[in-house]
Amino acid sequence: MIFRQLFDPTSSTYTYLLADARTRRALLVDCVFERHARDLALIHELELELVGVLDTHCHADHVTGAWLMKTELGCPIALASAYGARHVDLPLAHGAVIPFGDHALEVRATPGHTEGCLSFVTPDRRLVLTGDALLVRGTGRTDFQRGSAHRLFRSIRDELFGLPDDCAVYPAHDYEGRTSSTIGEERRYNPRIGGAVREEDFVGYLENLALPHPKLLDIALPANLRSGEPADGRVPQEPDWAPIVTTYAGIPEVSPEWVALHQSDVHILDVRARSELEGQLGAISGAQSIPLDELRAHLADVRSDKPTVVVCQTGKRSALATTILKNAGMRVANLAGGMARWRELGLGG
Ligand SMILES: [Fe+2]
């Protein structure tokens, strides 16, 4: 199984991508609206087919990227039926099984943080995604969204602590950078619910946390009840001057074929050393030449009346140049594959 843990530093949310290596079928769990381009790029680069976008619960601290992913890839949205959220194709309840190729996730109801919280367990009991029920050395809070410390105690004790000791625990959040734990570890060392704790100890602890109101609650909850669909129903636009694909590495790229057809609409910047321009690959006619090692000192010389497409030999140095120009606020994309690819495709100019 392919398993990736992704992080959103703004909300400290973990997103999980699980895929079957043979069939390439994949599930994405707890994706974040603002990280949509990153998640999509990884799915494309790993050549996966997303067969479901799941949320462990209706989040209060970030907006889900589920609707964006469904809009882009057509995959069904899965969420606990308890919330009655819009755009949900697979309303989930305890006992449901969500297959992806030769693998699956089993749904366990673990309410308490919210009334609809779910955990997802692999059938071999080696991995559980616990959402905000059980965290690494912590638990979710229970003071809003019809939370209940009593219910959370029973959810963790009955549904999660019954899993094997070596079952890996992957939570929806961690604020200290801790990535995972195991059921055995949490059963022993969790400061809220580990060891010989009794229900009243746990409830007393949670009822006295006195945590501040979640900053995004008033925005995130209504948005998540629409599965993350923006209020105006519009997909946020990537830069619209070209069909740009942002790679998982974060580089905006544009295809050589598109550039060849739209040469007059863009400004081409070649960042190879001047001596390379005379070489076998030649250069695209009309391209401005500023070698990469001079670029930072000559940012003001880069023409800005049109969007810039940056080129080098194979697209690597130009990727760095693209980042430099992007950080300087310019409309810019990297020419995928560089001059080598350009010539391979027999493009002229
Ligand atoms: Fe939560």
Distance 57 CA to ligand 1 centre (A): 7
Distance 30 CA to ligand 1 centre (A): 10
3-class DSSP string for 267-316: EEEECCCHHHHHCCCCCCCCCEECCHHHHHHHHHHCCCCCCEEEECCCCC
pLDDT at 214 over 90: no
pLDDT at 322 over 80: yes
Distance 114 CA to ligand 1 centre (A): 7
Distance 39 CA to ligand 1 centre (A): 20
Distance 79 CA to ligand 1 centre (A): 13
Distance 117 CA to ligand 1 centre (A): 8
Cα dist from 131 to 36, 90, 92, 120, 310, whole Å: 19, 18, 14, 8, 42
Residue 304 has a pLDDT of 87
Express as a percent the part of the chain with pLDDT over 90: 92
Mean per-residue pLDDT of the chain: 96
Please report the domains of the chain, with CATH numbers, ordered by start residue: 2-224 (3.60.15.10), 245-344 (3.40.250.10)
Per-residue pLDDT, averaged over 257-272, amounts to 97
> Residues 84, 93: contact at Cβ < 8 Å?
no
pTM: 0.93
Distance 34 CA to ligand 1 centre (A): 17
> Residues 290, 322: contact at Cβ < 8 Å?
no
Distance 113 CA to ligand 1 centre (A): 7
pLDDT in tens, 122-159: 999 999 999 999 999 999 999 988 899 999 999 999 99
pLDDT in tens, 266-285: 999 999 999 999 999 999 99
Distance 343 CA to ligand 1 centre (A): 51
Distance 197 CA to ligand 1 centre (A): 23
**Where do we find the tokens 């997303």?**
50
Distance 183 CA to ligand 1 centre (A): 20
**Where do we find the tokens 């990535």?**
179
Give the three-state DSSP class for 183.
Answer: helix
Cα dist from 344 to 245, 286, 304, 338, 339, whole Å: 21, 20, 29, 10, 8
Distance 59 CA to ligand 1 centre (A): 5
